[in-house]
Every structure is written in structure tokens, then in C-alpha cells.
Amino acid sequence: MRILAILFLPLLMGMTTAMTELDTAAQGLLFISESDHPLTAFELNASGDPVPQLQALAGDLAAPVETQALDYFFRNHTRMEPGAPSDQQETAQKFRDLQGLLERTLTGIVVYRVGTVQVHAFIVGRLPDGRYAGLRTLLIET
């Protein structure tokens, strides 16, 4: 529990403007896998390799970790199919806007996929002050 308090200390103290913008842009968007989960903003309070911190957030310090590029991670959510209903096109545009905001807000973005079956996905980059931050969600892959 103490580790989580340290990892989420910035959230307890109030998010930066950049993080508030990311959190607002992600509101109402669900990342679709075998179940749908929201994207939520997070910040890490430590520097160095983020992987151990992400494994701790996922609840398994030995969980396998894979990485992906941001555009690959969002590929199915940003694609606009010709003739798709307007609500699907609107959602795809919101994911495109979110991806653009992430790219403008964070540097060195990497998507970390932590675990198997219940995969904790973390979109991680650096804020201008050097701290790690981004969005997280849960994917179910059986």
C-alpha cells in the first residue's frame, strides 16, 4: 500500500495542467479488448527505469512486459472506416485527438503491456520536468 501511495503522490497532491488535459481528453473513451475499460491519467514520482514501477502498479513484480509504439496500440481505435456510423467516426476522432495530445504533451512515448490475460497497458512518456506520466487501462486477452 505504501508503494502505491508513493507512486500516486502527484495525483493526491493535484495533477499538473498537462495531466489534467490528458485526463479530460480521455474521459468517456473506452479501450476495447475482450472487455471495455477507461483510460486514466497517472504520474510516477520516481525517475529511472519505469518498468518495476509499472509492474508494481499492475500488482505483479514478476509480470512479463512487452512494449509497443503508440500508433500501433491505438490502430484499431483511430481507424475511420468508410460508411461507419457517425458515433463510431466521432469516437475514432476523439482517439486521434487524444493521440495527438499525448504526442504534444509527452516525449519518448512507449506503450508498456504488463502481464498476460489481464494486461495492464501503460502509455508512458516524460513531462517537461522529466517525470514519467501518461494514461493506463486494462485489456482482457484470452
Cell of 26: 480521455
- Which of 1-5, 36-40, 114-118 is the least confident region? 1-5
pLDDT band at 19, cuts 50/70/90? confident
Model-level pTM? 0.86
Q: Write a three-state SS string for 40-59.
A: EEEECCCCCCCHHHHHHHHC
Instruction: Give Rg (Cα) of the chain.
Output: 15
CATH of the domain at 21: 3.40.1460.10
Phi, psi (rounded to 5 degrees) for 124: -125, 135
Q: Which domain holds residue 115?
A: 2-140
Residue 84 confidence (pLDDT): 85
Residue 129: which pLDDT band, with cuts at 50, 70 and 90?
Answer: confident
Residue 15 has what pLDDT? 57
pLDDT tens digits, 54-66? 999 999 999 999 9
Set of cell numbers at residue 36:
471495455
Average pLDDT over residues 102-114: 97
User: How many separate domains does the chain show?
Assistant: 1
Q: Determine whether 134 is exposed, middle or buried from the number of CB atoms within 10 Å of its CB (0-12, 13-18, 19+).
A: buried
Helices (H), 62-139: 70-73, 75-78, 86-105
Which pLDDT does position 2 carry in this prediction? 44
